[in-house]
Chain A
Amino acid sequence: MNHTIYHTANGKLIQNDTDNCFYLQFKGAEYRMAVCALIAFKNRLDQLNIEEMLLSDASLNAIEIIPLCNREHLLVLTLDEIIEMKDLVPGTLVMLELNSIVQQRIVRAVV
């Protein structure tokens, strides 16, 4: 079963309960990610300094190549796309944390 966790204008992150993994849909492409791959992807995004990239002389053509954890895909992102990803992925993690809180309060601790 698929659950849309978070979406932005061009992207969507979906959790699939059957596969136990996430699907990142971005601009028509779809990338399968295990939990560890999603965390690794977020770590890579966290390391990108938008402010630095914007102030850099080469900012107009700035692209970043981010290999996904399993090396099946390489994401080539422009500055705009990085900004959108920096909304999509952390947004997803906030929603997942909310889901954890709901599970903890309703499903697990039935006392």
Chain B
Amino acid sequence: MNSVNSALKKAKFLEYIFRVVLGFAALFIGIILPIVIFIILYKEASLAIDKLGIINFITSTDWDPVAGKFGGLVPLVGTLIATFLATLIAAPISMGIAIFLTELSPNKLKPIFSTAIELLAAIPSIIYGMWGLFVVAPLFGEKVEPWLQDKLGSVPVIGKLFEGSPTGVDVLTTSLVLAIMIIPFMSSVVKDAFNMVPPIMKESAYALGATKWEVIKQVMIPITASGIAGGLILSIGRALGETMAVTFLAGNVNQIPHSLLDPFTTITVALANQFTEADTDIYLSSLYFLALILFIMSFIILYLSKLMLLQIEKKWKV
């Protein structure tokens, strides 16, 4: 009897240990890590926050390490422009791909097509950057952008977007490559959302004589709206934090671009290029300030995306 008791005790003790270890691992990655990262970034940025002030930092366009002047507006605006344009290109194409994968592709080929699209996400970011620099940028600089300038340059308003000398290292190329990188994320989220639509809803619409496109437009898109929004926001979050491809293609010029053919910079480009060169405390601290802003922005955006996706899951998942 005693031995049974001690065996039970031992089992209980082991159970306790496992629970603590597992729980700690989960707590670490799920709660502690993001908080610790926030604290570290905040602590490192605190010098810049104190000296430069939050409002002053995000509204100033000066970035002159030699003079000790640091303002984050230019990389901040650059990040937002690149993200906005990339999402603008990627969103309709991702929707099209999701529609193709769920409604058009023959069943047998579906896994092949969707794996192929997802492989776009598996290609390392540095490869996009290098390919962009050696292949896309020269092509755009020599052929596409002069052609665009020729065709659209004299159109009012739009023409302004194509001013400047085409080099291929600019907003347009960066946004296009960035768009290709985020397409797989958005299309796979939208595809999953489409797949969650109960077949009976589609079938009843078909029975009423609706065409395929009408079923997509009037049945599938409305009931997966929050999933589509979630995918959109997720891809925005991805684009915000993308580093290497942008570093190759943005040109790293500290100016707010006025045309699609201007070189520019983003938060990630500033970090990648200047972090190891920062020779004064305030310089490094300002870079950490940028990193902190990026961390908070992408955390909020990704959290919103998660909320949207949870909503659709709650609604349709059995």
A binds B: no
> B residues near A, CB below 8 A?
none
